[in-house]
Amino acid sequence: MQQTHPLEPFFQQAVRKSYEGKLGLHDPDVTGYVARLLCEFSDAGNLYCMRDDSGQPIDRLEEMERAADPVNGTAPSFDRERALRKHIGDYALFVAGMYPEAAESKRRLRHRTPSLGELIRAGKESYFIVSQFNLFEYEKEAPMFARLSDGFERWLLGLTLLREELGPRKPLQLPPPVN
């Protein structure tokens, strides 16, 4: 049995309040998934878990997408592509929803942070790709990833509303990659 993260009950309630209470989005699978995602990314090391060939964290969206490509990139298998694409979708949803000012700031070019449009495109595309892995062990959760892709902007809005309710009113910066 998998042990729950200490913050999971808090995030479950907060995400449900934002998605269901504020936006009328009733999808317990997505709500639970996003709450667990917030728990996972509460450790900054998990945000940059993708590594290059030398073991350095990959912190640029275009490099993440290249790494996830099993044909032209470095993903050694389709299973690895799925795992990396899942992470890219999660990363895009989290950064765009919880750190929107990082994507909108004038400093984003200097820090190579993707724009909000780039995050939305990458998130939708990555979750769609993950949803196409719909056989065998992935069959049960594939429809949820299709819903995450189709409604990406709504799930993103719910996270933004959650962040506004939880967070400080000052701009936040993404944590740096942990080597």
pLDDT digits (tens, 9 = 90+) for 82-111: 999 999 999 999 999 998 877 766 554 555
Q: What is the pTM of this model?
A: 0.90
pLDDT tens-digit profile of 127-171?
999 999 999 999 999 999 999 999 999 999 999 999 988 876 666
Cβ atoms of residues 158 and 15 within 8 Å: yes
**How many structural domains are present in the chain?**
1
At 73, list the tokens.
Answer: 């990139």
| Residue 56: domain span | 51-166
The set of residues, in sequence order, having a beta carbon less than 8 Å from that of 42 and lying 6+ positions away, is 5, 7
- 20, part of any domain: no
- 19, part of any domain: no
170 dihedral zone (left: phi>0; alpha: psi -120 to 50; beta):
beta
pLDDT tens-digit profile of 24-77?
999 999 999 999 999 999 998 899 899 888 888 888 899 999 999 888 888 888
- Torsion from C-alpha of 48, 65, 129, 82, nearest 10 degrees: -50
- 101, part of any domain: yes
